[in-house]
């Protein structure tokens, strides 16, 4: 997951405290219940997840023109239909596809040779060091990009059928675009995405790794190393599915496109940014049926298995606050230097966070509705509060108070702010003429960049006047020389590095526009049940009740940020089994000891195989 995702350690204990169970319903007499939030940016993250991953149910697509990147809306269907409706499991039905799927299900789940091959595929990919860094130079100038050439060589040798059957185009040197052309070109393609790059390993942490970060060590249960989870498991999982289908002689009717960027961890401009342009040139505006990229998976929450495909991502906005004042010798200082003034402004920022508010058009609310409807072990008081919140604003406020008692959940719901960069001054005996800081915002799906600009502008206006600073914000003059005479300097707010990103359009999940979501949801259920039945891994036991599918939200951003014009059906999901409670999920993503359970990796391969076959048979996309 990219730089806009939360760090791996933040994923591992997303919790709801007593407040969720009590929250003015009962007195604070119950013990704390820690649960892993299915909602959140998981995985992966990233989010989240969302990361990190926030689940949603019973919603209708609203919103504007997604092609113009307008913020789409989902609104809860109140009292008009079932809460969190579920699709039936979906498995391939055609005789050839069903036979291939059954054989591959058995091989993936039980065949020791297939397991050995899967381990070799993933471990071998980890051994090729493909780190990406912030601020890398042009492709033909910065030698650090060259690490991807050996990775391409590895893929060529590991997946021979993919490379002799699919059309491969290299975009911007290292972006990989594979096209498995189907027999019916009137059908929009299925696009599966992943990224080749990994976050760098901090050399100071090498002694903390159980196995060296690029060893690809297999201990009989896990493959260890950087990228084993994020995101080479997704990339290799997709290629393993295609290679296996080719080996069985499968020929698709619907084209399958694979798009693998190479700098997702550094925002993706060189990789997915250029792949998106090429994809649009080939397939046109809205020319893809659906996209599935890295994202969340499933885990057991409140006694039930819950899957959380990501249908949205937060926006992203870096604000540079810059203070300029007169310089001079530090022996004759003014009451406030530029650094002192900037410090006051930053303290004011932190004293005034953007308040999160729970509403019926937010994923956390929908997540609670899903849990209240389908999870077996939700405490009765909480279940009652969730149901009351559908019609009672008072109950909705109580539910919000309960959720926001957990800082992580509050951050996932609302627009956040974090002061991440600061700089000022050049010498200890010289008054600083310039000081600046960068405030990072992650923008909730119910807001937008303009709203954050307006809020930040208004927040600092009073202080700018107090310190007699002229004030410009995002190109507009707010306070002039006349307003602050005598002027003591200037304050400006600007979009740092021009990286502002609106919240992603929300993927439709109900109604006539939700065919892709229904296909994905049915595929998740079908793959979950079939793998449970076919595998001999002990970790697949205790899954007899099936799985609930609840759309989710990412707190960070994936490469799909560049693909909005290709389709309105974008899902961040890789079917990773996060296990029960705190015993699974993110496995050291972005930190030491990243690893991937082989059983979970095999289940990912099985899911991608099922998805390709189901999408091929569908005529509703």
pLDDT digits over 539-575, tens only? 666 788 899 998 888 777 899 999 999 999 999 999 9
Tokens representing 64? 């504007």
What's the rounded Cα separation, in Å, for the pair 347 and 170? 48
> Is residue 39 domain-resident?
no
> Is residue 115 domain-resident?
yes
Which one is catalytic: 10, 77, 107, 197?
197
Query: So what's the pLDDT on residue 65?
Result: 36
Which one is catalytic: 231, 263, 264, 301?
264
CB contact at 8 A, 12 and 592:
no
What's the rounded Cα separation, in Å, for the pair 47 and 29? 32
pLDDT higher than 50, residue 473: yes
Query: So what's the pLDDT on residue 540?
Result: 67
SS3 for 236-286 is HHHHHHHHHHHHCCCCCCCCEEEEEECCHHHCCCCCHHHHHHHHHHHHCCC
Total domain count for the chain? 2
Residue 14 — very low, low, confident or very high, per pLDDT cuts 50/70/90?
A: very low
Query: So what's the pLDDT on residue 111?
Result: 96
Same-domain pairing of 218 and 265: yes
Query: So what's the pLDDT on residue 56?
Result: 30
Residue 191's CB: how many other CB atoms inside 10 A? 26
Same-domain pairing of 443 and 472: yes
> Is residue 302 domain-resident?
yes
pLDDT higher than 80, residue 22: no
Query: So what's the pLDDT on residue 327?
Result: 94
Residue 330's CB: how many other CB atoms inside 10 A? 14
Provide the H-helix boundaries in 389-448: 393-403, 407-413
Q: Does residue 540 or residue 297 have the better pLDDT? A: 297
Query: So what's the pLDDT on residue 368?
Result: 82
pLDDT digits over 92-114, tens only? 999 999 999 999 999 999 999 99
> Exposed, middle or buried by CB within 10 Å (0-12, 13-18, 19+), for 288?
buried
Q: Does residue 509 or residue 25 have the better pLDDT? A: 509
Closest listed residue to residue 245, CA positions, set 81, 146, 340, 108: 108
Closest listed residue to residue 620, CA positions, set 497, 478, 511, 541: 511
Q: Does residue 50 or residue 469 have the better pLDDT? A: 469
> Is residue 298 domain-resident?
yes
Q: Does residue 485 or residue 61 have the better pLDDT? A: 485
Determine whether 545 is an active site residue: no
CB contact at 8 A, 352 and 442:
no
DSSP 566: T
pLDDT higher than 70, residue 44: no
Query: So what's the pLDDT on residue 2?
Result: 56
Please state the rounded mean pLDDT for residues 333-350.
98
Residue 278 — very low, low, confident or very high, per pLDDT cuts 50/70/90?
A: very high
What's the rounded Cα separation, in Å, for the pair 165 and 183? 14
CATH number, domain containing residue 556: 3.40.630.10
> Is residue 397 domain-resident?
no
Q: Does residue 378 or residue 216 have the better pLDDT? A: 216
Query: So what's the pLDDT on residue 588?
Result: 80
In the listed set 451, 471, 498, which residue is the last one of a domain according to the structure? Answer: 498
pLDDT higher than 80, residue 586: no
Same-domain pairing of 472 and 535: no
What's the rounded Cα separation, in Å, for the pair 144 and 132? 8
Residue 142's CB: how many other CB atoms inside 10 A? 13
CATH number, domain containing residue 444: 3.30.70.360
Q: Which of 2-11, 122-131, 201-210, 554-563 shows the lowest per-residue confidence on average (mean pLDDT)?
A: 2-11
In the listed set 479, 498, 517, which residue is the last one of a domain according to the structure? Answer: 498
Please state the rounded mean pLDDT for residues 27-45.
34
- Residues of the binding site: 195, 230, 265, 293, 590
- Residues of the binding site for Zn(2+): 195, 230, 265, 293, 590
Distance of CA 550 to the CA centre of its chain: 15
Query: So what's the pLDDT on residue 589?
Result: 87
Determine whether 264 is an active site residue: yes
Q: Supply the DSSP string of 111-162, one letter for each residue.
A: -HHHHHHHHHHHHHHHTS--B--TT---TTT-GGGGGHHHHHHHHHHH-HHH
Please state the rounded mean pLDDT for residues 220-247.
97
Query: So what's the pLDDT on residue 83?
Result: 85
Query: So what's the pLDDT on residue 349?
Result: 98
Question: Could you identify the residue written with the tokens 């707190």?
Answer: 555
Q: By residue range, what is the domain housing residue 448?
A: 315-354+415-498
Query: So what's the pLDDT on residue 176?
Result: 99
Same-domain pairing of 578 and 611: yes
Residue 204's CB: how many other CB atoms inside 10 A? 7
- Residue 195: what are its φ and ψ, rounded to 5°? -130, 145
In the listed set 448, 474, 498, which residue is the last one of a domain according to the structure? Answer: 498
pLDDT higher than 70, residue 582: no
What's the rounded Cα separation, in Å, for the pair 170 and 260? 10
Query: So what's the pLDDT on residue 581?
Result: 53
Same-domain pairing of 469 and 559: no
């Amino acid at each position: 997951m990219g730089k806009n995702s939360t760090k791996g350690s933040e994923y591992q204990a997303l919790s709801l405290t007593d407040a969720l169970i009590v929250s003015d319903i009962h007195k604070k007499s119950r013990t704390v219940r820690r649960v892993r939030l299915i909602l959140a940016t998981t995985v992966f993250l990233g989010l989240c997840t969302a990361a990190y991953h926030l689940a949603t149910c019973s919603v209708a697509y609203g919103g504007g023109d997604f092609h113009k990147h307008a913020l789409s809306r989902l609104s809860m269907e109140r009292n008009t239909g079932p809460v969190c409706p579920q699709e039936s499991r979906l498995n391939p039905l055609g005789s050839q596809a069903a036979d291939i799927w059954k054989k591959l299900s058995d091989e993936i789940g039980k065949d020791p040779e297939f397991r050995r091959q899967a381990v070799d595929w993933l471990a071998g990919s980890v051994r090729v060091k493909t780190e990406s860094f912030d601020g890398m130079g042009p492709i033909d100038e910065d030698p650090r990009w060259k690490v991807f050439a050996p990775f391409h060589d590895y893929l060529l040798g590991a997946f021979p059928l993919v490379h002799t059957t699919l059309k491969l185009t290299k975009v911007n040197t290292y972006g990989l675009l594979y096209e498995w052309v189907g027999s019916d070109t009137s059908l929009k393609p299925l696009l599966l995405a992943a990224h080749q790059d990994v976050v760098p390993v901090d050399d100071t942490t090498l002694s903390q790794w159980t196995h060296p970060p690029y060893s690809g060590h297999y201990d009989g249960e896990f493959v260890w190393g950087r990228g084993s989870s994020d995101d080479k498991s997704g990339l290799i999982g997709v290629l393993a599915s295609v290679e296996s289908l080719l080996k069985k002689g499968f020929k698709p009717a619907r084209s399958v496109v694979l798009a693998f960027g190479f700098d997702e961890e550094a925002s993706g401009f060189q990789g997915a940014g250029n792949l998106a342009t090429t994809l649009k040139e080939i397939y046109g505006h809205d020319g893809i049926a659906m996209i599935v990229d890295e994202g969340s998976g499933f885990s057991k929450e409140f006694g039930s298995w819950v899957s959380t495909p990501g249908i949205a991502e937060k926006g992203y906005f870096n604000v540079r606050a810059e203070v300029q004042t007169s310089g001079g010798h530090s022996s004759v200082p003014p009451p406030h230097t530029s650094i002192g003034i900037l410090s006051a402004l930053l303290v004011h920022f932190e004293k005034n966070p953007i308040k999160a508010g729970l509403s019926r058009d937010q994923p956390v609310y929908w997540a609670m509705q899903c849990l209240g409807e389908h999870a077996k072990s939700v405490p009765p008081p909480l279940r009652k509060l969730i149901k009351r919140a559908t019609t009672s604003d008072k109950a909705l406020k109580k539910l919000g108070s309960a959720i926001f008692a957990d800082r992580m959940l509050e951050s996932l719901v609302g627009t956040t702010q974090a002061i991440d960069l600061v700089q000022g001054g050049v010498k200890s005996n010289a008054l600083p003429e310039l000081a600046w800081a960068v405030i990072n915002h992650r923008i909730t799906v119910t807001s937008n960049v303009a709203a954050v600009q307006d809020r930040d502008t208004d927040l600092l206006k009073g202080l700018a006047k107090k310190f007699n600073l002229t004030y410009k914000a995002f190109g507009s003059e707010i306070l002039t020389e006349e307003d602050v005479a005598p002027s003591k300097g200037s304050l400006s707010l600007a979009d740092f590095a021009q990286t502002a990103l609106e919240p992603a359009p929300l993927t439709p999940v109900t109604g006539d526009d939700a065919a892709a979501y229904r296909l994905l949801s049915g595929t998740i259920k079908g793959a979950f049940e079939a793998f449970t039945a076919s595998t001999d891994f002990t970790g697949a036991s205790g899954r007899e009740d099936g799985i609930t599918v609840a759309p989710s939200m990412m707190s960070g951003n994936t490469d799909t940020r560049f693909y909005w014009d290709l389709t309105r059906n974008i899902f961040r999901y890789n079917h990773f089994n996060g296990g029960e409670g705190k015993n699974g999920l993110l496995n050291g993503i972005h930190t030491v000891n990243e690893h991937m359970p082989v059983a979970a990796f095999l289940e990912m391969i099985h899911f991608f195989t099922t998805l390709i076959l189901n999408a091929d048979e569908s005529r509703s996309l």
